[in-house]
A and B are shown apart, each in its own frame.
Chain A
Amino acid sequence: MTEKPVPAASLEDWLACDHCDALLHRRNIPAGAAAVCPFCGSVLLRSKRRAAQRTLAFSVAGLLFYVPANFLPIMSFELLGNDAFSTLYGGVLQLWQQGYWWMSFLVCTCSMVMPLLALVVRLILAIAMYSQRFGRWHRPLLRAVHSVSEWDMLEVYMLGILVAFIKMSDLGTIHLGVALLCFVGLLISTLGATLSFDSHACWEQLDRAVRAKRVAKRHRDVIRRLV
């Protein structure tokens, strides 16, 4: 039985599957395509077209939508001459005032804090990728990107708005507010920023930048010694 060569010291051309631990030799993937694990079917990596520019555009757009989507009325409800309106922020505040701190905290995290962080972190990283300037402080940001998006649940919130709308439109009059449009804009930009961001490429660029810095420092040291 002959075994294929096992990866030696350098592991740069190899990938391991997250889900089944298969070691795979990395080949060039055409831009916009994905490499899929042949054993378990999970996506190993996806190469993104113009990742930096697209992420930059989407996250800027998302940040513009963020404030109106969170603080302006999404819809208002009218019954017997009285009316009230709901905002994302208002819901969190109301739950807090009713004494449901834990629920308020969770709703706030998943619908306000994490979406904002997801946009800001991606914007910072996209700027770094675009300008090719990385520092050590980019590492924790890049590491956090995935977990932040895991708790960013705007699409579920959108479904919540729909369900609440249909449920209440039977009982009274509902008017949709301007923030609903901003919310849809925020949702689309967040999805766009998430899908267009290429964390693999970002790690590689960061590695290269750190290595280049190290080489430059060594050169400077040598020159200093000679002088």
Chain B
Amino acid sequence: MAIQANGQPLRAMKHGIAQCLHCHRLLHLRNIPRNQRALCPRCGGDVSFRKPQSIARTWAWVITAMVLLVPANVLPVMTVISLRQGEPDTIFSGILSLIDAGMYPIAAVVFIASIVVPVLKLVGIIVLLLVVQLKLKMSPRQCTVTYRWIEFIGRWSMLDLFMISILVTLVDLGSIASITAGAGATAFAGVVVTTIIAVSSFDTRLIWDLETSRE
């Protein structure tokens, strides 16, 4: 382990060393501007000190996700038709009807996966973006831990979509009962994908760069 005399770690970029994020090989990249790309000799992937245009790209995906969040919550995600009657359900009314039926644990699981996770994820990534852009004094270690959590929980919002895809075939009983998907589900699928891409385009090393620049 290499630590400088003042207790700070050696930063790879400061020494002109970049890491290939595909295969983890280190490369000397001296005299190449910060955002310029180079090719990794081991795997052929792009290598740069930081993910290119990380902030702008992350914002673009975050804003797209926020826009899609509106139709995802307003439009119906699923319609249950039983004996030719049925009302379309939005994500929220679906949760309410689960509560009415007394299925509290399921209602909680769906609430967490379809509402809490996407919102927390967006709020979290926006906070991290603001930390970098406004140079807020937050513990970089805390921010990195937050990022890892956001990265981990993201996939669980697919729950609702998988559930719909199971139900549409499971309850396919012609005139007795049937379930169809709704336009809201398409928007929600968009939210899941855009938030996952937003998180992966953010570069946590930018937060640690703030410390180096303060020295």
A contacts, CB < 8 Å to B: 1-7, 9, 11, 14-16, 18-25, 38-42, 45, 74-77, 79-80, 82-87, 90-92, 94-95, 98, 100, 102-104, 106-107, 110-111, 139-140, 142-143, 146, 150, 153, 156-157, 159-161, 163-164, 166-168, 170, 199-200, 203, 206-207
A23 near B169: Cβ-Cβ < 8 Å: no
CA distance A46 to B43 in the complex (A): 20
Check B5 for interface membership: any CB of A closer than 8 A: yes
Which of A16, A164, A170 has the most CB atoms of chain B within a 10 A radius of its CB?
A: A16
Cβ distance A111 to chain B, nearest Cβ, rounded Å: 7
B177 CB within 8 Å of chain A: yes
| Chain A residues near B144 (CB-CB < 8 A) | 19-20, 40-42
Contact assessment for B186 and A102 in the assembled complex, using a CB-CB cutoff below 8 Å: yes
Q: Hey, which chain A residues are within 8 Å of B166, CB to CB?
A: 74, 86, 91, 160-161, 164
| B162 adjacent to A111 (CB under 8 Å) | yes
Q: Are B205 and A19 in contact (CB under 8 A)?
A: yes
How many B residues touch A, CB cutoff 8 Å? 74
Is B174 close to A, CB under 8 A?
yes
Contact A80 B155, CB 8 Å, known A6-B15, A168-B167? no
Complex interface: chain B residues within 8 A of A22 (CB):
9-12, 208
What's the minimum C-beta distance from B19 to chain A, rounded to whole angstroms?
4
- Give residues of chain B (128-150) contacting chain A, Cβ–Cβ below 8 Å: 140-141, 144-145, 147-148
Q: How far is the CB of A207 from chain B (nearest CB, A)?
A: 7
**Shortest Cβ distance from residue B117 to the other chain A in the assembled complex, whole angstroms:** 11
CA–CA, A7 and B12, complex, Å: 10
* A4-B106 contact, Cβ under 8 Å, with A83-B173, A85-B169, A153-B158: no
Residue ID in chain B nearest A22 by CB atoms:
B9
Complex: how many Å from CA A16 to CA B18?
A: 8
CB-defined contacts of A16 to chain B, threshold 8 Å: 12, 17, 19, 24, 26
Structural contact, B24 and A20, CB atoms closer than 8 A: no
Name the one of B12, B27, B156 contacting A23, with C-beta atoms under 8 angstroms.
B12
State whether A163 and B169 are in contact (beta carbons under 8 Å apart), knowing that A3-B5, A100-B186, A103-B186 are contacts in the complex. Answer: no
Q: Which residues of A contact B44 (CB under 8 A)?
A: 139-140, 143
B57 at the interface (CB under 8 A from A): no
A194 nearest CB across to chain B (Å): 13
Q: Which residues of A contact B163 (CB under 8 A)?
A: 160, 163-164, 167
Pick from A41, A100, A153, A167: contact of B155, CB under 8 Å: A153
- Tell me the complex Cα distance, A187–B19, Å: 33
Inter-subunit contact B12/A75 (CB<8 Å): no
B9 lies within 8 A of A86 (CB): no
What's the least CB distance linking B62 to chain A, in Å? 19
Could you tell me the distance in whole angstroms from the C-beta of B106 to the nearest C-beta in chain A?
5
What are the residues of chain A within 8 A of B101 when measuring CB–CB?
170
B50 to chain A, nearest CB (A): 9
Residues from chain B with Cβ under 8 Å of A142 in the complex: 23, 43
